[in-house]
């Protein structure tokens, strides 16, 4: 089951297990596991990154599909990228926060940051990755759904 809207209905039975009635249908969102929560977040991140031209020689800004902006601050001399999300919405969540990649010209370095999620699935995702040859090669994401304890997920969860 994918995260998103579902229709729920409650059925009533008597003590002899005889059907009595159904409630009217209600549209709601189900709870998600920490891994599903991460995938909802990552879907928004991937969509935002597809709007960037990382070969560009200057900073960029893109709009969320529904609201907000993402700004790519590109530092060519150091091969660094600072990505800032402000009220950014593509799907079920709103993102606010930053992701910073500090790398050399060979694509080796780190990506760190914190994004705060509001909306249907509120919480926080902390990013702490190692980058080798321009791809994640180690590290983790720490997911904290609102009202829950932190869960550490391996970097491979995004692949």
Average per-residue pLDDT in the chain? 89
pLDDT above 80: residue 150: yes
Per this entry, what is the length of the chain?
A: 159
pLDDT for position 140: 98
- State the pairing for strand pair 80-89/19-22: unpaired
Rama region for 129: left / alpha / beta (φ>0; ψ in -120 to 50; rest):
beta
What gap in Å lies between CA 136 and CA 130, rounded to an integer? Answer: 6
Per-residue pLDDT tens digits for 78-136: 678 899 999 999 877 899 999 999 998 888 999 999 999 998 889 999 999 999 998 99
- The predicted structure's pLDDT at residue 123: 96
Provide DSSP, 106-120: TS-EEEEEEEEEEES
What does the domain layout of the chain look like in residue ranges?
Answer: 32-158
Q: Own/partner pairs for 26-32, CB < 8 Å, 24+ apart?
A: 29/3, 29/4, 29/5, 29/92, 29/120, 29/121, 30/1, 30/3, 30/6, 32/3, 32/121, 32/145
Q: What is the pLDDT of residues 22-71, one digit of tens each?
A: 999 888 777 889 999 999 999 999 888 888 776 666 688 889 999 999 99
Three-class DSSP category at 124: strand
- Residue 1 scores a pLDDT above 60: no
Those residues whose C-beta lies under 8 Å from the C-beta of residue 44, and which sit 6 or more positions away, are 88, 89, 90, 91, 93, 95
The pLDDT value recorded for residue 30 is 79
Q: Would the pLDDT of 4 be above 70?
A: no
Q: Answer whether residue 3 shows pLDDT above 90.
A: no
Residue 77 has pLDDT above 60, yes or no: yes
């Amino acid at each position: 089951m994918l995260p998103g809207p579902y229709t729920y209905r409650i059925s009533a039975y008597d003590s002899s297990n005889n059907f009595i009635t159904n409630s009217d249908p209600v549209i709601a969102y189900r709870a998600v596991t920490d891994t599903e929560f991460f995938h909802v977040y990552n879907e928004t991140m991937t969509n935002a990154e597809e709007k960037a031209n990382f070969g560009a020689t200057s900073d960029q800004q893109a709009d969320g599909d529904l609201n907000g902006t993402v700004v790519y601050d590109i530092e060519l001399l150091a091969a660094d990228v600072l990505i800032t999300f402000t009220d950014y919405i593509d799907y079920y969540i709103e993102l606010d926060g930053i992701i910073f990649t500090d790398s050399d010209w060979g694509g080796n370095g780190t990506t760190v940051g914190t994004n705060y999620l509001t909306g249907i699935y509120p919480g926080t995702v902390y990013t702490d990755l190692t980058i080798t040859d321009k791809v994640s090669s180690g590290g983790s994401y720490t997911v904290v759904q609102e009202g829950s304890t932190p869960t550490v997920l391996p970097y491979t969860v995004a692949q």
